[in-house]
Amino acid sequence: MDNPITVREEESPITARTDYDYPILLDLKRVEVQTTGSKRVKYYRMAFLVVAAFCAALAVMFLLEGPETFRQAVAYFLLGILMLVLRAFYPEVAAWRTKRAIKRHPVTDLFVIEEDGVQIARGEDKAFYPYEECNALLETEMALYLFHNKGRGLTIAKRGVQGATPEQLRELLERRCGVKARWMGRAHRETAEGGTD
């Protein structure tokens, strides 16, 4: 696929492509859960816990009423377990729901890493992300996450980076943004990269 972004630099730029398939969406949701600023995630996880406790209380109440309400007790008990499973596997469930929502219209972001910022194209929509507005750089095994000081962010899939290695891109973004990348992966960075930094 041709890159529709107009390149500003004379030399060959570093480019990247992120296809929002299930593995990338799952990685994004795991980062979302780990970041302290995600109030929505905390709200959903707390809601699952409250509903699970309520279901457990109802199950006990029905059990105490006698054998004739045993089925209702089991139903509420199972519903409570389901709420706990949804809470424990929130990233997987959220990624699956997002994937289903975009199934008919797959989403792809194209990036050009420039001297003063990152150009982004999603279909016909284009935007520019200046490095001076970056306040956080996160990294996992699969992606680099560049966060804007207004709360927006970019997901740059490592597998789609061209013109540099993902490690070189991370170091470049650290220099240009003036922030140190924070590792958010499941394994240690050394394990994920197959060596040491």
For residue range 53-72, what is the model confidence (pLDDT) as tens digits?
999 999 999 989 888 889 99
Q: Maximum distance among all alpha carbons in the chain?
A: 80
Contact 128, 119 (CB under 8 A): yes
pLDDT band at 95 (very low <50, low <70, confident <90, very high): confident
Let me know how long the chain is: 197
CA distances from 116 to 129, 157, 172, 176 (A): 9, 20, 12, 8
Q: Which value, to the nearest 10 degrees, does the dihedral of the CA atoms of residues 130, 133, 139, 144 take?
A: -20
pLDDT of 19 over the 70 cut: yes
Torsion over CA: 68, 74, 75, 76 (sign): positive
Confidence of residue 154 (pLDDT cuts 50, 70, 90): very high
Looking at 38-42, 111-115, 121-125, which range is the least confident one? Answer: 38-42
By C-alpha distance, which of 25, 7, 28 is closest to 121? 7
| Predicted pLDDT at 37 | 52
Q: Which long-range contacts (CB under 8 A, 24 or more apart) does 49-53 make?
A: 49/83, 49/84, 49/87, 51/80, 51/83, 52/80, 52/81, 52/83, 52/84, 52/87, 53/80
